[in-house]
């Protein structure tokens, strides 16, 4: 049955908010006009002049299943995604077992079909068990449904291993997605090697451990012709290297997280492990370089690196607690409030970074609100303020440094394939 979403505000080509109606049928958008007349057999939903955006796409999410169901499951993680306005997410492979074989990928695809609330694109590992010793069967994993290849959670330490992985991925026209970290330069640190680390007597992680891997890998990407994508960039050096690589015509893309855009190591208040993530919060100068890189197109889009952990794990303290924070349910409100409302970027730019740009980068069907597109979109209240309260999260993970922040821009309804998968007040 067709559904008409009436009195919605959407962005026109000039980035202006205009009042419009949107009609969907058969999982697709079939009409967009200032006023669409409803027939007897059609359902009408009054959006009450709230903002409608294309469904957000997050290519960096940790769903933890299989093996880490105490932290998150495909069901809880995708519900969190829906609540945050994300209609397509890509699941990282650092699970137990790792999706490093055709059999394991087929199991994961079936589990996604059975339990996911939104679209899930599963990554396959680059190396067997993500151990960095033996390459996976790239062709078999692509055939089984792999979205791309990554060992995210760890960096590929061997240049030869990465070179040969890129050769195989390029032959299959598949991306290599990299967590960039030279383990010989991390010093087993827990925060950035800066003022906070020194003040608290902690071992710091130098910026160069990330940048040196990116510098190596862009040259390997140039040599192989592979699409090379850099995960969660955090340093000014990384931005500089990617900018120069793009200028040289190398096929490299990059992402940045909301927390690296909005926080730096000066913002860490205490030894609170909810501020512990990898890569760590860097300096104010790094934070500004990331914002500038996003604005000038060096960084292609925003991804959350949603990484849920239990309260018990995060209570172990800054040194022992695992890296990572959750981000799916707070990404848009935080970015809208602290970037758009403060004039750092426009609403159109933010929506593009969360929807259109990741879709273009990875050739995903989605990311736009237009006739013929998939009926994947999110309805957002741009005006009501709400406090970030981890206890209300759909995710099992409550580990966020943003608890207590007051934001506007909260999703109220998420539609995937023409079906309402989440609606405020109907959880």
60 is annotated as contributing to ligand binding:
yes
Contact of 343 with 99, CB cutoff 8 Å: no
Annotated binding residue 152: yes
Determine if residue 63 is labeled as part of a ligand binding site: yes
The Cα–Cα gap between 200 and 210 comes to 23
Does 216 carry a binding-site annotation? no
Closest CA to 147 of 103, 99, 181: 99
224 close to 170: Cβ distance less than 8 angstroms:
yes
Question: Which among 100, 265, 286, 305 is annotated as catalytic?
Answer: 305
- Checking 315-319 for CB contacts under 8 A at 24+ apart, the result is 315/273, 316/273, 317/271, 317/273, 318/190, 318/191, 318/200, 318/202, 318/271, 318/272, 318/273, 318/276, 319/190, 319/202
Q: Which of 422, 233, 258, 261 is nearest to 333 (CA)?
A: 258
The answer to whether the annotation marks 309 as part of a ligand binding site is yes
25 is in an annotated binding site: no
The single residue listed with the structure tokens 């208040």 is 269
Known binding residue 179? Answer is yes
- Residue 278 is assigned to a ligand binding site: yes
Angle at 415 between CA 411 and CA 417, to 5 degrees: 155
Whether residue 399 is annotated as binding a ligand: the answer is no
Q: Is 305 a catalytic residue?
A: yes
Known binding residues are: 60, 62-64, 94, 152, 179, 232, 278, 305, 309, 323-324
Known binding residues for Zn(2+) are: 60, 62, 152, 179, 232, 305
Active site residues: 305
Known binding residues for substrate are: 62-64, 94, 278, 309, 323-324
């Amino acid at each position: 049955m067709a559904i008409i979403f009436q009195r919605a505000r959407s962005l026109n080509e000039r980035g202006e908010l205009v009042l419009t109606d949107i009609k969907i049928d058969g999982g697709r958008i079939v009409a967009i006009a200032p006023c669409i007349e409803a027939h007897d057999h059609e359902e009408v939903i009054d959006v009450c002049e709230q903002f409608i955006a294309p469904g957000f796409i997050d290519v960096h999410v940790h769903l933890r299943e299989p093996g880490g169901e105490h932290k998150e499951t495909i069901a809880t993680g995708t519900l969190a995604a829906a609540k945050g306005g994300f209609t397509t997410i890509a699941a990282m492979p650092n699970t137990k077992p790792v999706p490093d074989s055709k059999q394991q990928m087929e199991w994961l695809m079936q589990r996604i079909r059975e339990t996911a609330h939104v679209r899930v694109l599963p990554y396959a590992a680059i190396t067997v068990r993500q151990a960095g010793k033996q390459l996976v069967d790239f062709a078999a994993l692509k055939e089984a449904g792999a979205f791309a290849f990554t060992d995210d959670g760890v960096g590929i330490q061997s240049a030869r291993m990465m070179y040969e992985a890129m050769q195989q991925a390029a032959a299959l026209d598949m991306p290599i997605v990299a967590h960039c970290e030279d383990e010989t330069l991390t010093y087993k640190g827990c925060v950035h090697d800066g003022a906070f680390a020194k003040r608290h007597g902690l071992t710091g992680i130098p910026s160069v451990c990330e940048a040196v891997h990116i510098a190596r890998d862009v040259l390997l990407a140039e040599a192989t012709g592979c699409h090379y994508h850099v995960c969660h960039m955090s340093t000014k050096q990384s931005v500089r290297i990617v900018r120069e690589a793009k200028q040289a015509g190398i096929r490299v893309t990059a992402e940045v997280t909301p927390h690296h855009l909005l926080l730096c190591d000066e913002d860490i208040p205490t030894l609170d492990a909810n501020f512990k993530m990898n890569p760590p919060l860097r300096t104010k100068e790094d934070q500004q370089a990331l914002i500038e890189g996003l604005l000038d197109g060096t960084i292609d889009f925003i991804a959350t690196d949603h990484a849920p952990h239990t309260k018990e794990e995060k209570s172990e303290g800054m040194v022992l607690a695992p890296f990572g924070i959750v981000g799916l349910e707070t990404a848009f409100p935080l970015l809208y409030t602290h970037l758009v409302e403060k004039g750092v970027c426009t609403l159109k730019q933010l929506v593009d970074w969360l929807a259109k740009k990741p879709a273009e980068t990875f050739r995903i069907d989605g990311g736009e609100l237009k006739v013929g597109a998939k009926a994947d979109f999110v309805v957002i209240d741009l005006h009501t303020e709400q406090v970030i309260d981890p206890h209300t999260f759909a995710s099992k993970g409550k580990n966020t440094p943003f608890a207590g922040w007051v934001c506007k821009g909260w999703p109220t309804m998420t539609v995937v394939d023409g079906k309402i998968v989440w609606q405020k007040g109907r959880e």
